[in-house]
Amino acid sequence: MAVQINPSILSADFARLADEAKAVKGADWLHVDVMDNHFVPNLTLGVPVVESLARATDTPLDCHLMIEAPDRWAPQYVEAGAGSVTFHVEAATAPVRLAREIRAKGARASMALRPATPIEPYEDLLPELDMLLIMTVEPGFGGQAFLDIMLPKIRRTRELISKHGLELWLQVDGGVSAATIERCAEAGADVFVAGSAVYGADDPAEAVRALRNQAESVTAEASWACDH
């Protein structure tokens, strides 16, 4: 399983987004946090900024929609240039239909779960997805401390993915850093969103490389990866 590092521009300098996108050379995706001040108590950016970012970088955009009514808005982010669009199952009215629409428009479809949302009720939806995002903090703000109590949930999710033989990426977002990424990888995550751990570093590109090396070293020995 290939480890992927997705720097989150929530921790970048919003006045220099094009430069900040170029500063994370070697990243697999650029994680774009979209917040509407309704689903979460914060307001960030929307479709016009995603359109501008898509023109400013060759790194594909991974848009995480922390918004109400994603059934209505998610397709617009595909049209704006996102290569992957994540909606929250807590906000979606028809998650299967939405995932299929995102895929039909040419992007990867991803579903996110808040910390208190269990994975088990959504087992039957997994084949409709390209990625599942386990939030390891409450969505809404960057720089929060990693919630260790999410590690068993990551393990259970990986077990479900393996049970069904799916090529489904398992992403974690929230408090991912040099101090936590190895635990996430051991539990079963293979896609890692890192904000302040990357953009707070003196050399963001080197931070990406270092995080990748940590995760790869653990994944190479992890039982879930060997079984796969």
Which whole-number Å values give the CA distances from 188 to 45, 77, 165, in the listed order? 31, 28, 14
Q: Is 58 annotated as a binding residue?
A: no
Written as one letter, the residue type at 148 is: D
Q: Is 11 annotated as a binding residue?
A: no
| HSE value, Cβ hemisphere, 13 Å, CA-based, for 67 | 23
Q: Is 141 annotated as a binding residue?
A: yes
Q: Is 83 annotated as a binding residue?
A: no
The Cα 193–Cα 61 span in angstroms is 12
User: For this structure, is 62 an active site residue?
Assistant: no
The Cα 90–Cα 107 span in angstroms is 21
Q: Is 26 annotated as a binding residue?
A: no
- Residue 114 three-state SS: coil
Catalytic residue among 36, 130, 173, 190: 173
DSSP code string of 55-91: HH-SSPEEEEEESS-HHHHHHHHHHHT-SEEEEETTT
Q: Is 174 annotated as a binding residue?
A: yes
Q: Is 164 annotated as a binding residue?
A: no
Q: Is 62 annotated as a binding residue?
A: no
User: For this structure, is 71 an active site residue?
Assistant: no
- State the SS3 of 159-171: HHHHHCCCCCEEE
Catalytic residue among 28, 33, 36, 130: 33
DSSP 8-class letter at 29: -
Contacts of residue 86, defined as CB under 8 A and 6 or more positions apart, other chains included, come to 62, 63, 64, 65, 110, 111, 112, 131, 133, 171
Q: Is 192 annotated as a binding residue?
A: no
Q: Is 143 annotated as a binding residue?
A: yes
Q: Is 31 annotated as a binding residue?
A: yes
Q: What residue numbers does the annotated binding site for a divalent metal cation cover?
A: 31, 33, 64, 173
Active site residues: 33, 173
Question: Which residues fall in the annotated binding site for substrate?
Answer: 8, 64, 140-143, 173-175, 195-196
- Known binding residues: 8, 31, 33, 64, 140-143, 173-175, 195-196
